[in-house]
Amino acid sequence: MPSWNTVRDDFPALHQQVNGHPLVYLDNGATTQRPQVVIDAVSRFYAHDNANVHRGLHALSMRATAAYEGARARVARFINAAAPEEIIFTRGTTESLNLVAASWGSRLQPGDVILLTEMEHHSNLVPWQLVAARTGAKLRYVPVTGDEGKLDLSVLDQLLTPEVKVFAFTHISNTLGTINPVAELCARARQVGAISVVDAAQSVGHMPVDVRAIGCDFLAFSGHKMAAGTGIGALYGRRELLDAMPPWQGGGGMIAHVGFFESRWKPSPERFEAGTPNFGDAVGLAAACDYLDALGRAQLRRHDGELARLAYQKLSALPNIRLLGPAEEERGGLVSFALSDVHAHDVVTFADEDGIALRGGHHCNQPLMHKLGLTGTVRASFYLYNTAEEIDVLIASIRRIQKFFG
């Protein structure tokens, strides 16, 4: 097992004070901190190998291209894709999901159905709304069972019918912490001939993820939620699906031939990477994959889950608090809660006075919040550098906030 307290030393951003207190960073669901090895990998690339990829015959360009394509192969291994060509580099989960919705979704027709869940992040909801408006397809939703935050799978047979062409769902809810049975959901989608699209933003950097074991058609994630940089992420797609999809954007790098009136496209992944890619942060993403695998993602999953269970247990002992998500079952590494008569933004502001970084608001889950009768919640989200002692600091801060607001 890694020494988690020692792991904290790898992250320079954690060694600071905020408002006179040691930083307690519990906003990992929004973005994680970066270890020094990732920072060094990106810095070293820009210091020695910086050049545009795929287009140059000089030494720097060839080194940059090798590093970029090496990063693609590393990401493919990280999620057990069948080949590097099944990995498309994007700006992150949002762009990955928009790519699938705009490109694969262009074949949808009136009468087709897109099935989502009520716990989806806006990134896996709004793109499908846009596609439905363009194509005439209809939207359906798998309901969430109240505060416990589980999908009501008892109605899935009624919803997942042959009219469904796309079933898109999150792996771990960014608000509820619910871990969905993604392999089962993908198998159910295949039974009716629907493609499956998995939002893995909250899971890929926190637990082992194997796309072939899951059996998904597409899977999207972001680098900045797994100890890498912002503006980099990936879309996994089965090769036969990617090669049958039209380009999403046009430009340099994705063409086989261009004439004045028509063009031909390269196969995946180049087909979906028009223009100059974020090659420097792709190198950083590969370094993050190395770092997380060296720690062990199964151990990381246990660490995050134990912190989430401990936080849920201690928060539930406080008065006038409402907690969301599974109470007994395993959950992702986060806990969302609401204090009676105290706005989530006030909680986050007061906690910041104690050096604690939390997240308050609707967490890009407005439809779910509306269903639960909430305007927002406070979210504490954990990662490999967080400790049980930091949860005690959080509890003391919440007690102070409750005392202040009476």
pLDDT at 211: 98
Kindly report, residue by residue over 328-379, the tens digit of the pLDDT.
778 999 999 999 999 999 999 999 999 999 999 999 999 999 999 999 999 9
Q: Are residues 130 and 261 in the same domain?
A: yes
117 and 264 in a single domain? The answer is yes
| 110 found inside a domain | yes
Q: Active-site residue numbers? A: 364
Q: Report d(CA 328, CA 220) in Å as an integer.
A: 28
Q: Domain range spanning residue 223? A: 39-293
CATH number of the domain enclosing 278: 3.40.640.10
Q: What is the pLDDT of residues 108-153, one digit of tens each?
A: 999 999 999 999 999 999 999 999 999 999 999 999 998 999 999 9
Q: How many domains are contained in the chain?
A: 2
Q: pLDDT by residue (tens digit) across 374-393?
A: 999 999 999 999 999 999 99
Asked, for residue 258, whether it belongs to a domain, the answer is yes
Q: Do 351 and 259 sit in the same domain of this protein?
A: no
Domain closes at, from 251, 266, 293: 293
pTM of the model: 0.97
Residues 394, 335 contacting (CB under 8 angstroms): no
DSSP string, 241-255: HHHTSPPSS-STTSE
Are 202 and 246 in the same domain? yes
31 domain residue, yes or no: no
Are 206 and 337 contained in the same domain?
A: no
Residues 109, 162, single domain; the answer is yes
Query: Is residue 200 located within the same domain as residue 327?
Result: no
- State whether 183 and 65 are in the same domain: yes
- Residues 316-347: b if buried by 16+ CB within 10 A, e if exposed: eeeeebbbbbbeeeebbbbbbbbbeebbbebb
